[in-house]
Structure 1
């Protein structure tokens, strides 16, 4: 499940077969895009513990824990749908408003521990000179880099570091950071090269992830699994090279109809302009369509842990 700024949950009834197909697809896309860097004998940090939540931001990444020898997780508290609803402003009574304040207070303290644990991990892995794969949400990493700047800390993972961001960039435009600027900041503080800083675009309704290529950071669509479309304001199909509302047919879903019209505005290209991988791609910058509420798993975690606060 996932939710938007209204706090209303989107619930997707996935059966075991659909979950297995989604897990395989996401894992294959990640490893192939980061090959040959990615290997089993490495350490991986995953910001959200998949065992502690039914949110798709956690469950979708459960397979990642099987892709590395050692896995460290950030969130060590169980995240329930009610916690997310209250953090997104969905209190329905005076008692729930009090509960929401308590939850935010606890989450902020947990956030402080997450930050310290993450920086300790960076220090440990830099000293050990081992490969480190970071799977994080953009707002969390932004917060980390602000703290690294305040503490005058920088690390060198030019040889041993890779990063995958996921969960969504669809926050308010005032807080939005272009992908190129984000990669520059990561390079400044962690020295991870551009070609190993990739983003995954997906949503709770979709059973795969579209991951950027290292050559040009275009979002590659697994065309054997989903059929992409761009629609105009009348929900009529538009051609390649045009901007419109993203829609797709998902062949991996067997427990619900995989015919989805999203609230995202994208530009769909027939082929990647910079690499020779087959299939259509999306341009890197995905935005919310006009009039659509802010949604995304990263937004849920940002609100819950007050990540944007100083």
Structure 2
């Protein structure tokens, strides 16, 4: 996911690109933010990290207010737990933006990871985006992807995630046997674009596939409904890494 985000930022001039951090990651903080906390020392570090994250969100909020005042279009690419946290801060601060008038867009991806307990549905997220950012629901989209997959599954307006045509997706049962369309199981895929590793990936995600989108009419396999973690799957990935990117910048 991070690779795709990095490539996407090259589209805009550097004067129009804004990042919460350009700091180098440290494995110590990544470990803590992934939930691996051992002893009082790590707990104290976590408290510092949480305060830093709050400062970072306030910094972002001030930037958004400035862009909104100027009527400038904004493309935000973030993680769902980060966006949800920001909107809760906006609620506390009484901040309501009108960024829909500039046709701004918000894209989330990376999943909720260890924040599954606060997870809300895509429709609820879209409703909150409209309330706090003034952005119409069709201009908020979620994507599904991972470092091992050379492509992203982007939501259509009906909230079905469309898998790139070169990816061969499947869902597997508990014995790792393929299931039919419409059945929920462990998501796996074949990726012919992989050239530095075998492109046969079994993930820790639970999903349901449909042969085509029943709403938008576009061709190709789609993911129907929410994607969740399989029981016992580790909470890891770019979503957890992103939290450290936020943290290091705001010390």
User: Which interval holds the TM-score relative to the shorter structure?
Assistant: 0.7 to 0.9
Cα offsets for 1:229-265 (capped at 9, x unmatched): 1111111111111111111001121111110111111
State the match for 2:29 in structure 1: 83
Q: Secondary structure at the match of 1:180?
A: helix
- For 1:264-275, what aligned pairs fall within 5 Å after superposition? 264-275=205-216
Q: Secondary structure at the match of 1:146?
A: helix
Cα offsets for 1:75-130 (capped at 9, x unmatched): 243213343124334468x7xx74x4565355334323322221111111111111
Are the equivalent residues in 1 in contact too, given 2:130–2:137 (CA < 8 A)?
Answer: yes
Task: Give ranges in structure 1 of 5+ residues lacking alignment.
Answer: 1-56
Indicate how the Cα distance of structure 1 residues 78 and 302 shifts in structure 2: closer, same or farther if over 3 A, else same: closer
- For 1:233-248, what aligned pairs fall within 5 Å after superposition? 233-248=174-189
Task: Give ranges in structure 2 of 5+ residues lacking alignment.
Answer: none
| Counterpart-to-counterpart distance in 2, 1:112 and 1:91 | 20
Indicate how the Cα distance of structure 1 residues 290 and 231 shifts in structure 2: closer, same or farther if over 3 A, else same: same
RMSD over aligned Cα atoms:
2.3
- For 1:1-310, what aligned pairs fall within 5 Å after superposition? 57-69=1-13, 70-90=16-36, 98=41, 100=42, 103-160=45-102, 161-171=104-114, 173-213=116-156, 215-224=157-166, 226-302=167-243
**TM norm structure 2:** 0.87
Are the equivalent residues in 1 in contact too, given 2:209–2:224 (CA < 8 A)?
Answer: yes
Cα offset, 1:171, TM superposition = 3.9
Is the helix fraction higher in 1 or 2? 2
**TM norm structure 1:** 0.72
State the match for 1:53 in structure 2: none
4+ residue runs over 6 A deviation: 303-306
| Counterpart-to-counterpart distance in 2, 1:59 and 1:81 | 19
Cα offsets for 1:44-90 (capped at 9, x unmatched): xxxxxxxxxxxxx5334110211223110012432133431243344
| Counterpart-to-counterpart distance in 2, 1:202 and 1:150 | 32
| Counterpart-to-counterpart distance in 2, 1:141 and 1:266 | 23
Indicate how the Cα distance of structure 1 residues 88 and 256 shifts in structure 2: closer, same or farther if over 3 A, else same: same
Q: Secondary structure at the match of 2:69?
A: helix
| Counterpart-to-counterpart distance in 1, 2:147 and 2:2 | 11
Aligned residues: 244
Q: Secondary structure at the match of 1:174?
A: helix
Cα offset, 1:195, TM superposition = 0.7
